[in-house]
Amino acid sequence: MTATDAFLKISIYRSIAQSLPVTASGLGTVLLAGLTGVILTQPSRQDDGPPASLSRISGAFSLMQSFHGDSKRPVPKLWNQRLGLLRAGNLWKRQGRSIWWQGWSEDGDAYLILPDELLGTDTKNLRKHQVSGLTLLGSDELHRQQLIQRLERQSELPAQPKSLQKRCMRQLAQGPAVFWTSDALAAISGTTAPLLQQGSHGCLALRLYGNTLHWGGVVGNRSITLAASQPKQGWNFSVSDRQKPPDFDNASLLEVHGARADLILGTLLSRQIIQEPLESQYGVNQAIRSRLALSPFSLRLQQQTKGAYRAGLQFQAPLPGGADAWTSVFDRVSSRLEERGFQRSTPKPSPSPSPSQTPTSKQDKDKKTDAVIWKDQRGGQNKIVGGWRWLQKPGTLPLLSAGLASLPDSKPFYQTLPVATDSALKLHARPRNLVALGLMNGAWPVLLKQADSLHLQIKPAIVSANLKTSGQQAWWEISGQLVLSSAADPSEDSD
């Protein structure tokens, strides 16, 4: 094309634009609108920030925890192991109060997770893998390759804006928090894992105020990525409660009060290996198991200073139908215990008061049936292995009081959870005492094992019309606090 041809072509386009001003302005409007649309549909920088990055890697870990940096404290052991002493010390000072993460995978290895900008170009000889602005540091090349393979298997679908997954990742990006799956809970909780299935997955925000660790978040019996709907007020991660921890019985190592027994026994009652002997040996069929599962309850584990056992378990529940409805079950239980060589004893009933000795106290007005006590007298022993009795207050359902490795309590300790609070379960424990007695196995965190007391409560995150029909309930709001002993070396107030 010559210069003359080019000039003529430009002139023609100019004349067309001048003769059709509407077309020119319309074209400009279309181009501007298109450009605006492109800009508006670009992912925001926030979507590419730490929450989105953590979401991309979360599927490769069974547990992830976030921490505030604190240069006043010693360099964490994991930093020294993954970075080397000199580099770890320098980066720890540079970290300041920023957030860093630790992840645990199915291979049992702990990974250090840091933002790329902290490391910069100082990555020589590091066993690292980078994902969306995060650097993941493993212990060796084998674990690094295994991590890469797990990441490649993860879905690339982003979390929905209001999903529990995204809310959880935001907590991990903003402050101290923890996210876990059923694999992590099973590894940590040991033999108690079947009792904790309602919280087998979860995400909590954590805050330390003085010597008390507070938490708030959501737990459930399935992956948090499957939370398709959310509560009307959104997912709650409130940890602002600084109230004084509640008191509970000084002799109790553990107390649990629940709206339904299946909150802790559901997994056990659903297993065929448990169901078959219950039905064949004790006559506890599906109908009876369902009634038991829906019954409110209280249980406590109490230390025993004398006797053959270090602690005894006591259980109370207002079972529907009372003693008559459960006679056949306890008759079968009695037969099985006698077959195994245990001896039954029934304490002599207290004499009835004369008319002039009419009971006036509330306790005396309670009707108590005779207790059934079982002992092991083999080999010259005389140890109590358990028993049961029924307690009756006027106007209330008969209350079963049972004991295992202890006598059944003759006084009610059963607590009804207030309907107005929607509480489904409350738990109080003394972890340090449980550990001292060898009654708390598993790989629980050191701070938990050293704690003087633990308090938590759960309630439905998505409230159903009737709590008793909420077997479909998958998500629970959980809040609580851990009171640390002096040995736990608590830090000062932290946000």
Asked if residue 390 has pLDDT above 60, the reply is yes
d(CA 439, CA 310) in angstroms, rounded, equals: 9
Higher pLDDT, 133 or 242: 133
Asked if residue 475 has pLDDT above 70, the reply is yes
Q: What does each C-alpha distance from 133 to 6, 24, 116 come to in angstroms?
A: 49, 44, 5
Q: Which of 324, 376, 318, 308 is nearest to 345 (CA)?
A: 376
Task: Provide the 8-state DSSP code for 467.
Answer: G
Q: Is residue 465 classed exposed, middle or buried when 0-12, 13-18 and 19+ CB atoms within 10 A define those classes? A: exposed
Task: Provide the 8-state DSSP code for 207.
Answer: E
d(CA 57, CA 34) in angstroms, rounded, equals: 34
Contacts of 47 (CB under 8 A, 6+ apart): 158
pLDDT at 271: 86
Q: What does each C-alpha distance from 414 to 197, 258, 297, 355 come to in angstroms?
A: 23, 10, 7, 31
Q: In the predicted model, what is the mean pLDDT of residues 404-413?
A: 93
d(CA 11, CA 5) in angstroms, rounded, equals: 10
Least confident of 168-177, 210-219, 285-294, 456-465: 456-465
Asked if residue 184 has pLDDT above 90, the reply is yes
Asked if residue 418 has pLDDT above 60, the reply is yes
Q: pLDDT tens across 114-123, in order?
A: 999 998 887 7
Phi, psi of 276 (to 5 degrees): -60, -50
Domain boundaries, given as residue ranges, for the chain: 62-154, 162-259+417-495, 311-347+366-412
Residue with tokens 């980066």: 91
Residues 112/77, Cβ–Cβ less than 8 Å: no
Q: pLDDT tens across 15-63, in order?
A: 323 433 333 333 233 223 333 333 333 333 445 589 999 999 999 999 9
pLDDT at 170: 96
Q: With respect to CATH, is domain 311-347+366-412 assigned 3.20.20?
A: no
Asked if residue 491 has pLDDT above 70, the reply is no
